[in-house]
């Protein structure tokens, strides 16, 4: 196998030298105004005939198939919009171009000018009149043009995966559509897109383990952000009333079908709104994305069809807990017993933690949705305003679809005194020095200057793309998911 690969590599290098001997630059250059293949395929075309030429077209792309028929060559050209057959006749191109055509390998990139028509077998084809060589591929390409079967190979060679696995390219294009739709929808509503720091002195806004780096000039440790929240809220203090950011977030945690250490978040804040206002916004925003991709609001996910038709169900956390766990979430004795029955270790855990572990283990998988789950136990929500008539409940919701959390929203806590208290409780158990280092005192100070009442929303873009592109794993909606370096063994 190794010898065969060496021979293939050498054959390609030999062809590169032959191209150079013909005066052809194997790395090409400018090739203006190629038409997308999808547009060419929509043009009217009839069978080739000398007396009535078809439309003149110009295309550029990668060669995925190559078949020689003596004085006639058939190629398949691919670009990001589609594929089309090329026909090169010895008497339709120059002598040099014919020689060049015979040096083409699978994977090479070429440009062509020619006539669009149909062959006798009814195949839409460009009959080439001018061939322009654009790039030589020195590595052999996969023979199976219908898709790469080895998942590990696909992920490590995403550039090939996009060429030979149509679903990968489709998902990448649909992800762009989703993000454009989100921006367009929010822009129309008067939201302003902003940018906040990726490197932060304090990792705040979420309970997650950060990645740590070091700034040499200042000789200080910094953190890759684990959330966008606290800097965006500072902007609310500064007077920006409707803001959002779509940005990368980094959490030094495990990898799973729904988790990647580097992922994309949408966070937005709306002064003078609350979590119910965020429900309305979330529903409209996601439906806009559904409408951008599908002709109806009933969409596939796995082997199920999900009806996204509004209004979406809204049900309290307590009601779901009672229904599926079988007791009130406020009953400490029964909650502990239910946790033990589910195999959850209860040692040293606070009541609210047990409640949420039960919710995650028992309830979440049953939430086919779309369903807004609202009014969470307050101890789980240190950045959330409490209900006026029940301080044990936080004005928070999460949106679930097919058992997967897609969105998280709050009525934002803007009371600096309560905020400092909840931060202190969150950091309890750490040394005084460490807790002081992790307390974002500038954020508390900003709140003391006055942050307006507000609603805030976070949506995991990657999970949203998973749902809307019918993709079961997060690594297939991230172009370059984190992988263990080649040759590095598992630590397990």
Global pTM exceeds 0.85: yes
| CATH code that applies to domain 163-312+369-476 | 3.30.930.10
Residue recorded with tokens 């940005």: 247
Would you write out the chain's pLDDT as a tens digit for each of its 492 residues?
444 688 889 999 999 999 999 999 999 999 999 999 999 999 999 999 888 899 999 999 999 999 998 899 999 999 999 999 999 999 999 999 999 999 999 999 999 999 999 999 999 999 999 999 999 999 988 864 455 778 888 889 999 999 999 999 999 999 999 999 999 999 999 999 999 999 999 888 877 889 999 999 999 999 999 999 999 999 999 999 999 999 999 999 888 888 899 999 999 999 999 999 999 999 999 999 999 999 999 999 998 999 999 999 999 999 999 999 999 999 999 999 999 999 999 998 999 999 999 999 999 999 998 999 999 999 988 889 999 999 999 999 999 999 999 999 999 999 999 999 888 876 665 544 444 446 788 999 999 999 999 999 999 999 999 999 999 999 999 999 888 887 666 655
Domains 2-141 and 163-312+369-476 share a fold: no
How confident is the model at residue 466, as a pLDDT? 96
Domain ranges (residues) in the chain: 2-141, 163-312+369-476
Please calculate the CA angle 296-302-308 and round it to the nearest 5 degrees: 30
How confident is the model at residue 147, as a pLDDT? 58
Q: Which fold has domain 2-141?
A: OB fold (Dihydrolipoamide Acetyltransferase, E2P) (2.40.50)
């Amino acid at each position: 196998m190794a010898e065969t690969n060496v021979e293939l590599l050498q054959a390609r290098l030999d062809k590169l030298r032959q191209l150079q001997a013909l005066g052809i630059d194997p790395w090409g250059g400018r090739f203006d105004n190629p038409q997308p293949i999808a547009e060419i395929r929509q043009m009217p075309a009839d069978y080739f005939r000398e007396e009535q030429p078809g439309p003149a077209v110009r295309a550029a792309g990668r060669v995925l198939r190559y078949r020689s028929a003596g004085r006639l060559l058939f190629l398949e050209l691919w670009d990001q919009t589609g594929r089309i057959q090329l026909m090169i006749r010895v008497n339709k191109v120059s002598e040099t171009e014919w020689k060049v055509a015979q040096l083409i390998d699978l994977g090479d990139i070429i440009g062509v000018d020619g006539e669009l028509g149909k062959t006798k077998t009814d195949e839409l084809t460009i009959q080439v009149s001018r061939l322009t060589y654009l790039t030589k591929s020195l590595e052999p390409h996969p023979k199976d043009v219908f898709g790469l079967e080895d998942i590990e190979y696909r992920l490590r060679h995403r550039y090939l995966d996009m060429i030979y696995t149509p679903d990968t390219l489709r998902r990448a294009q649909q992800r762009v559509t989703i993000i454009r739709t989100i921006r367009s929808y929010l822009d129309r509503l008067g939201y302003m897109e902003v940018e906040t720091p990726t490197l932060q002195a304090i990792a705040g806004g979420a309970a997650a383990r950060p990645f740590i780096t070091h700034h040499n000039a200042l000789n200080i440790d910094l953190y890759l952000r684990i959330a966008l929240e606290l800097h965006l809220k500072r902007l609310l203090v500064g007077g920006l009333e409707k803001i959002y950011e779509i940005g990368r977030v980094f959490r030094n945690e495990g990898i799973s079908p729904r988790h990647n250490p580097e992922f994309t978040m949408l966070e937005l804040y709306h002064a003078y709104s609350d979590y119910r206002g965020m429900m309305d916004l979330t529903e409209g925003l996601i439906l806009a994305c559904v409408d951008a991709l599908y002709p109806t609001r009933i969409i596939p996910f796995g082997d199920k069809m999900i009806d996204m038709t509004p209004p979406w169900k809204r049900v309290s956390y307590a009601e779901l807990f009672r229904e599926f766990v079988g007791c009130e979430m406020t009953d400490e004795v029964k909650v502990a017993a239910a946790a033990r029955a589910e195999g959850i270790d209860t040692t040293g855990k606070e009541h609210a933690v047990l409640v949420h572990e039960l919710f995650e283990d028992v309830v979440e998988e049953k939430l086919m949705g779309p369903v807004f789950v609202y009014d969470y136990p307050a101890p789980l929500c240190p950045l959330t305003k409490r209900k006026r008539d029940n301080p044990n409940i936080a004005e928070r919701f999460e949106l679930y679809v097919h058992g997967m959390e897609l969105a998280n929203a709050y009525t934002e806590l803007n009371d600096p005194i309560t905020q400092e208290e909840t931060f202190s409780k969150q950091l309890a158990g750490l040394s005084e020095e460490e807790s002081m280092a992790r307390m974002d005192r500038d954020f508390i100070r900003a709140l003391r200057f006055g942050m307006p009442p507000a609603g805030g929303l976070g949506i995991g873009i990657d999970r949203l793309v998973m749902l809307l592109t019918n993709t079961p794993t997060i690594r297939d909606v991230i172009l370059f998911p984190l992988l263990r370096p080649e040759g590095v063994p598992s630590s397990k």
